Structure 1
């Protein structure tokens, strides 16, 4: 089938504006498995956000956890753009009506000190390029009704991006073995998701390496100052209005987010 890039972009934009999710794009506007066209849709959205004054601050990697992949039947990573409008402070309340179908997941954030302009980046290149790492919570969201997504749907939808929260205490990458970082995501003091760095493509550095190579080949490489979210270290958790969530990652510390109950929204 011929992709309808403009129509797919309009439906996703309308869903963001109205707060009403749209049907899956696959099989209607984009062919199943047409990832190239899905990224073209994503690029149209990114240009619109930047046209409204949003500033690119980095990128997110998605579908790096086997648990998340199995949830959606998607077995390859993807990526999306992060803008300054998506950033939320540690512990700052999020208005629930900013989102459609939010879920939270704990991740590791890389903050770059150097550009990564070349493909086939090595692990040594990555370690030299990373200024520091932080614990992070990504508040993922989907403009597709019921999270009924394939790789095409999530890629077009900016890798199911929503908002992100970074911890406040930076750690040097050289001091931590990210594979062995245990993660617990808690709600009301109870664990709701557990995992480890090894759940993210075997090592969060592998996820960063995949993204750096992919973007360099596309001619839009990662730059100094960029924030890169590694992808989930464990299962994502649907958000309960009025709830608070805290992610604890060994060696990195903790990060917290909370949501309004929607009663006064």
Structure 2
């Protein structure tokens, strides 16, 4: 049975307050074991709505839980999604104040910039590529308002898919000349390679993740809009970060992205 509107509002407000104060809350699923994923998306919308009331605007979407390993860890068979807001955007080479985050981890990803709307269901890989202006190497800095990252799928969905901030790389390229499944990723932390990966880590191709998102949102009547930035999912493991860390990611055929963390 769906949880009532009182709890939707309560949990959404809790997560918004945790975001504003860079603090954590106890896992929602510990307190409401019957919470469904649908309930969690209602909480997510309330939390995001509070940020929109503060003057932020939606600039895109993100796809999470795209690797089989993470799906297995959370006991689910599909990804999740969240909303990217303009207060999350950073440019290549940005210095991010670590005190604005709680328990951040960095992921190397491929961002899609759309030139046309996509409204599913019925969207294909060809439709995604046709609607894409270009792809950019990026960092997603995931963060959790849930204490110690003790999350089930409902917790991360409610927490806007554990969105923190994101950093867009130094150039955009046309994906139609690339095989996004085989493009390799190298992620360096303080000059040492700490993660390698490839496009196939993301549902066997980032394009497949985009198809999933367009069709999943389409069934809810939500389009992917021209001009939006869509983060298509991690190409390798998450990397914890702290003040003083310098990160760079390079993705074959696409480009690079760098970020540093300061206090």
Aligned to 1:9: 12
Shift of 1:73: 4.7
Asked whether the equivalents of residues 5 and 30 of structure 1 are also in contact (C-alpha less than 8 Å), the reply is no
Aligned to 1:18: 21
In the superposition, the TM-score normalised over structure 1's length comes to 0.94
Structure 1 pair 228–127 and aligned structure 2 pair: CA distance change class (3 A):
same
Structure 1 unmatched ranges of 5 or more: none
Moved over 3 A (4+): 67-75
Aligned to 1:183: 185
In the superposition, the TM-score normalised over structure 2's length comes to 0.95
Question: Are 1:155 and 2:130 counterparts?
Answer: no
Comparing 134-143 with 66-75, greater Cα deviation is found at 66-75
* 1:84-110 alpha-carbon deviations (Å, 9 max, x no partner): 100011111000011000000000000
Shift of 1:2: 5.7
Supply the distance in 2 between the matched residues of 1:14 and 1:141 (Cα, whole angstroms). Answer: 14
Shift of 1:30: 5.7
Question: Which SS does the other structure have where 1:40 is aligned?
Answer: helix
Aligned to 2:220: 218
Structure 1 pair 172–61 and aligned structure 2 pair: CA distance change class (3 A):
same
Shift of 1:161: 0.2
* 1:117-136 alpha-carbon deviations (Å, 9 max, x no partner): 23110121111101100001
Question: Are 1:112 and 2:138 counterparts?
Answer: no
Aligned to 1:234: 236
Aligned to 1:131: 133
Comparing 228-237 with 187-196, greater Cα deviation is found at 187-196
Asked whether the equivalents of residues 247 and 254 of structure 1 are also in contact (C-alpha less than 8 Å), the reply is yes
Supply the distance in 1 between the matched residues of 2:153 and 2:16 (Cα, whole angstroms). Answer: 19
* 1:14-34 alpha-carbon deviations (Å, 9 max, x no partner): 2112222111001413625x0
